Amino acid sequence: MPRHHLPQLIHARIKHLLARIEQQCWEDKRAVAVDGGPVHESIVGYTQGSKGPWQALHQHSYFGPQGGAWATRWHRLRIPKAKLHETGRRHLLWDCNGETTVYFQGQAWAGLDVAHPACPLPDRAATLLLETGLWQTAIWHHPQRPIEGPGCRFDGAWLALRNPTAWEVFHHLDVLLMLLESQLKAAGWSETTIERRFTIPERMPRLVRMLLSGLDAAADIYERDGLSALGKACSDLMERLPSEDHQGIAALTGHAHLDLVWHWPEAVTRRKMVHTSATILRLMERYPEFRFSGSQPYLYRALAEDEPKLAQAVA
């Protein structure tokens, strides 16, 4: 049973706590200068895009046609060698609503988009080139950031160090909050009505009571003992949550559902395959237990034609 005398406020408390933890995920955030090349009227690959010419790109600037296009602009930025305490922690934070792929030493390195605005960086000094598609097809992402008005928008780029403890705790807490919200919704409550017509605790579903009580206690632990203690409290709460009797052994695997043609032409599909494959390789390097599967032979053949070395790494 929730100890809070106003259990209808626990949901808002945890949302606020999650926002506080998210702010701790990135440390030593520093802006990095970015150069932009010409806006090409079609999809242009590395060989042509890397030639420039280049000009300084300013924050909060627009480029490309209104509403976006199936076209490309390449960007360039330079990163210094990582300091000893930065090794393995440096990331690029990229704020642009165009779908972007980072290239390192001429090879696709990682994907960046509105749902994934950060990617790990190599520790060595390097010049990175970024292929930005003047499209944004993530209709499932909220809040949505469509390309509209004057065109594709660039709001800045930064180097930052990821705090591994805050990163892990943020995602544990986020999962628990999403579970709570799904259960509240199933019970007929919404974020706009929860504080006005919240039922008495005794009438709540058992899982909702466990989540409210556990998350409220976890928030108290954070205020008293800090970030690591909050992480342990979240893990302990997950261990206590009941599961269905019929559940057996689960095999967890990543999968990117990439339509060959949907709201975009086939040429964009091929760039999306590069974008996704590079991202997956970085994740598998960082998380050895991660497994990924793909089931579209055409995309593998296209990847071998467009990015042979990346295709070899995938195989």
Question: Are residues 38 and 150 located together in one domain of the fold?
Answer: yes
- State whether 197 and 145 are in the same domain: no
Q: What is the mean pLDDT of residues 241-251?
A: 75
Same-domain check for residues 19 and 36: no
Domain check: are 18 and 47 in the same one? no
Boundary (domain end) residue, out of 183, 208, 240: 240
Tell me the CATH number at 98: 2.60.120.260
Task: Indicate the residue among 215, 240, 265 that finishes a domain.
Answer: 240
Does one domain contain both 132 and 194? no
Same domain, 30 and 158: yes
Q: State residue 194's pLDDT score.
A: 57
Could you report the per-residue pLDDT of 201-223, keeping only the tens digit for each?
Answer: 667 788 999 999 999 999 999 99
Q: 271 and 187 in one domain?
A: no
> Is residue 231 a part of any domain in this protein?
yes
Q: Write out pLDDT tens, residues 17-28.
A: 999 999 999 999
Q: What is the pLDDT of residues 79-108, one digit of tens each?
A: 999 999 999 999 999 999 999 999 999 999
Last residue of a domain, one of 216, 240, 264: 240
Residues 182 and 105 in one domain: no
- pTM exceeds 0.75: yes
Question: What value does the mean pLDDT take over residues 139-154?
Answer: 80
| Residue 200: pLDDT band with limits 50, 70, 90 | low
Q: Determine, yes or no, domain membership for 99.
A: yes
> Do residue 151 and residue 206 come from a single domain?
no
Task: Tell me the C-alpha distance between 5 and 21, whole Å.
Answer: 25
50-61 confidence digits (pLDDT tens): 999 999 999 999
154 within domain boundaries: yes
Domain that holds residue 87: 26-162
Distance CA 315, CA 309 (A): 10
Residue 206 lies in a domain: yes
Count structural domains, the chain: 3
193 with 129, same domain: the answer is no
